[in-house]
Structure 1
Amino acid sequence: MDVRTWLLRRTPIRPLIVTTLGGTDVRLAAERATRIRGWRPALSPAEANLLVVAGPADPTTAPFLDSMWKQIPAPKARIHLDEPAAVETGLTSGADLVRSAVGQPEAEVSTAHEEHETPMPHHEHAGHDMSSMEMPGGIPMADRAPDRDELKLDQLTVPLGPGLPAWPTGLFIRAKLQGDVIQEAAVEVLGEPTAGTEPYWASAKRQRARRLDSCVRLLTVAGWEDAAATAARLRDDILMEKDVESDVTRWARRVRRSRTLRWSLTGLGVLDGPKWTDSPLAGDAYDRLTRWTSSNPTEDDPAAILDALPRLLTGAEFATARLIVASLDPDLERPRVAHG
């Protein structure tokens, strides 16, 4: 056995789990299996070596998945899991491919089941005008626009989602930046859940676990991985109908006592005024987190969140955009009724 083969066989697996609409149950199964195996999830493509696509095949997300795949360094593998029963064998196969000497390091090893998930060919951009380049979804990378002082400054269009870690499934935002400030935000929903299927979080019995799932996302984006990991374990225990209420209470008390977390979230994504008086979305990001950690979590309206996001993001610093989105965490598998 040569040194390269020896090292590959001992490569730690760092999965990056991306979910398509209708794949919540698959994602939860993959996250739980990942935790049990002792794998640390990747928080960016650069940290990953196993791209896990959880949920039904969705052509609208293919360009974004292909872009993420190119950013993952070798050795790497890619798998598509379309049902919870496929998770264990799929993760095992993916790990074997990452650690295999065959086809590494140059080859883009893929275990995708769907034809559209085959990695796209690499396009060279050297020597091109940056203003003409496009990102996934046909988004131009750079342009120029006047700022508030009537100066012509670079205006960069940045796509957020749909494959970002700790990001609401199906959400896609086009953010126009000048400097580090979002000047304009357009919100879309990519894909549709499989017809005839009930949204995973529709059951009232799952609302406590649903809110812990939202806490996982917000705490991950805020950088508190330990508290996020505990929330994920408690979420899974509740879904398995284990009695962990005392553990949840201790965890919630710890989260609410964090001065750093309060400082990080206070004043972000404020929703106030008569429209929000009785809404569980009212207040800022910290207010919403506090409600999620309560013993009586309530449902919110995904359509109202989609309506509010462009205004909340416009004028915000780019570094806070993901915190604002995570504090709202719309469930886009649920029916959305447009607001007049």
Structure 2
Amino acid sequence: MTIIDGSLPKRTPELVDWGSLSLITSLIITSKGLELSGVFGRLAPRLVGMSNHSEKRLFLLLLPVITFSSAIIMNDTAMLVFIPLVVALSELSGLDKTKAVTLSAISANVGSALTPIGNPQNIIIWRHYELGFLTFTVDMFPFVLLWLVVLLFFVVFSTDETISVESLPPLALRRDLLLVSVFLLGLNVYLGETGRHELSIAITLILFLLLERDVLLSFDWALVLTFAFIFIDFNELSYLLSKASLSLPTGGVKLLIASATLSQLISNVPATVVFLGSKPEWLPLAVGVNAGGTGFIVGSLANLIAVRIGRVRLRDFHRYSVPYFIVALVVSIVIILLGV
């Protein structure tokens, strides 16, 4: 680096985090394969049949399924899979669509926080700190468990409407696509842990190109461009903040609150990239940005997908999401203070 006329040192930054982008793309494509296999859609009629015409019971059955699925297939993909189902159920049964869409988005954000592959911000943190898959999951588990408990309490203490669901058309299960997708999911996790991120995208593209081209044809490639733009823009912002000597919290409750708050303004993926420039503790950062995805709609791309597909008004969405975010944030602060 050189200094010209007393200005800041010149640098040649890596404009795009190609490793994270490769791994995220691989996992999103694999998630699309799981979606098209029909495995999650096959759960819908069974859940409806078990609800006994109770809205509350249907939520208590559906939300944990979305939560668990999001930890595996990413929250954005979970919304693409489940929100059309939620909308269809609302139209068939009179289920409160706004409530169902919002709670589904919250449960997707909650579940995705559990694993390193659940959402893009977790993938970035996982790679940056070179954490083990199990280490990340175990440390996030207490937070995710309590966030889910809070969500289910919201359901339990809400009104219980009677629903009457007509028969739903059966969905075919494509077992070959399911097997390929499950194999690639495990392989991409392994390649992510061993640092071979570019290899993950190469193998994923080749396998689907040879065996299941429908996955690549139906994949939303604009989503990858969106993530690339985010990485470019906010890596630069993080650099400028550090050069301007603006100190960001690097640990504990302050980091948790700051990262959750910033996520409300610029979304949790850019917020993660901004804070990484200050080299913070990974756990409060991960907790903050994941909790931040459950508040305002801008906090997470999954929220935007849910609202767009469900055609829910922002005011109605925030009527459920903001109170949940406040409670979840307080619970997270208590856990950090107790050092659990």
TM range (shorter): under 0.3
Higher helix share: 2
TM-score scaled by structure 1?
0.26
Q: Per chain length, whose mean CA-contact separation is higher, i.e. which structure has more relative contact order (CA < 8 Å, sep 6+)?
A: 2
Structure with bigger strand share is 1
TM-score, normalised with respect to structure 2: 0.26
